[in-house]
A and B are shown apart, each in its own frame.
Chain A
Amino acid sequence: GQNIDQPTEMTATEGAIVQINCTYQTSGFNGLFWYQQHAGEAPTFLSYNVLDGLEEKGRFSSFLSRSKGYSYLLLKELQMKDSASYLCAVRPEENTDKLIFGTGTRLQVFP
């Protein structure tokens, strides 16, 4: 089966750092994506990892360990606008872009 686990909710304070974890067990692995989704809106692409290690993109970084089936999204210098759901998704098959999504982590940033 395919399974992607993320915490349901997290809270943090403006200016702080938060780490959102994702573990996966899938039939195959051809990359892991993180998306941000504000309530009622479309998910927007944040990051992509296919090799082990850390990918940094401004305030956001994403880490992958394929041997552990584990990824995290790190958000630094949190802002109120970062309050959103963060979706972890895995591409299990090599020949399509279709993704399997976790349930998402709803992050609330407080002043």
Chain B
Amino acid sequence: DGGITQSPKYLFRKEGQNVTLSCEQNLNHDAMYWYRQDPGQGLRLIYYSQIVNDFQKGDIAEGYSVSREKKESFPLTVTSAQKNPTAFYLCASSTDRGYNSPLHFGNGTRLTVT
């Protein structure tokens, strides 16, 4: 079955450490996205990539970095510069070719930094 896989589901880190969240898709989608979800707030876009080896900052990119070396993979690194890293992180993908192509989401990674 095609889909998006995020791992791990839960992640714990100490403050000051960088951590990388994995996102893999086998939907053959061109575009991939990282969103952050906090209680009482809507999903906020961190980074997105419409094609391999290219990516753009979203609304809250500070303290995060990404890479897109392969079409299937879009890992997100939460650096020690991110002030409030504890959150639920969602990866998504889309065909990015039509107005009605919805985002397909992974099951998320809940990151806790103490």
Q: Which of B13-47 contact A (CB under 8 A)?
A: 31, 33, 35, 40-45
Sorting the interface of chain A by its residue count into under 10, 10 to 19, 20 to 34 or 35 or more gives: 20 to 34
Whether A73 is near chain B, meaning CB under 8 Å from some CB there, is: no
- The distance in angstroms between the C-alpha atoms of A66 and B19, with both chains bound, is 42
User: Are B101 and A97 closer than 8 Å at their CB atoms?
Assistant: yes
Interface centre among B35, B95, B99 (most CB of A within 10 A): B99
A45 in complex: contacting residue of B44, B95, B102, B108, CB < 8 Å? B102
Whether A33 is near chain B, meaning CB under 8 Å from some CB there, is: yes
User: Are A101 and B43 closer than 8 Å at their CB atoms?
Assistant: yes
Nearest-Cβ distance from residue A36 to partner chain B, whole angstroms: 11
User: Are A41 and B107 closer than 8 Å at their CB atoms?
Assistant: yes
Whether A74 is near chain B, meaning CB under 8 Å from some CB there, is: no
User: Are A42 and B101 closer than 8 Å at their CB atoms?
Assistant: no
Given contacts A43-B90, A98-B33, A98-B58, contact A48 B105 (CB under 8 A): no
Whether B64 is near chain A, meaning CB under 8 Å from some CB there, is: no
Q: Which residues of A contact B102 (CB under 8 A)?
A: 33, 45, 48
User: Are B99 and A103 closer than 8 Å at their CB atoms?
Assistant: no
- The distance in angstroms between the C-alpha atoms of A33 and B103, with both chains bound, is 9
Whether A99 is near chain B, meaning CB under 8 Å from some CB there, is: yes
Sorting the interface of chain B by its residue count into under 10, 10 to 19, 20 to 34 or 35 or more gives: 20 to 34
A96 in complex: contacting residue of B31, B44, B110, CB < 8 Å? B31
Whether A4 is near chain B, meaning CB under 8 Å from some CB there, is: yes
Q: Which residues of B contact A43 (CB under 8 A)?
A: 43, 90, 103, 105
Contact with B along A34-75 (1 / 0, CB 8 A): 000000111111001010000000000000000000000000
User: Are B48 and A4 closer than 8 Å at their CB atoms?
Assistant: no
Whether B100 is near chain A, meaning CB under 8 Å from some CB there, is: yes
Whether B94 is near chain A, meaning CB under 8 Å from some CB there, is: yes
Q: Which residues of A contact B106 (CB under 8 A)?
A: 42
Q: Select from chain A the residue with minimum beta-carbon distance to B98.
A: A97
Whether A26 is near chain B, meaning CB under 8 Å from some CB there, is: no
Q: Interface residues, chain B, CB within 8 Å of chain A?
A: 31, 33, 35, 40-45, 48, 50, 58, 88, 90, 94-96, 99-108, 110
* A–B pairs, 19, beta carbons within 8 Å: A33-B102, A42-B90, A42-B107, A43-B43, A43-B90, A45-B102, A45-B103, A50-B100, A89-B43, A97-B95, A97-B101, A98-B33, A99-B43, A101-B43, A101-B44, A103-B40, A103-B41, A103-B42, A104-B42
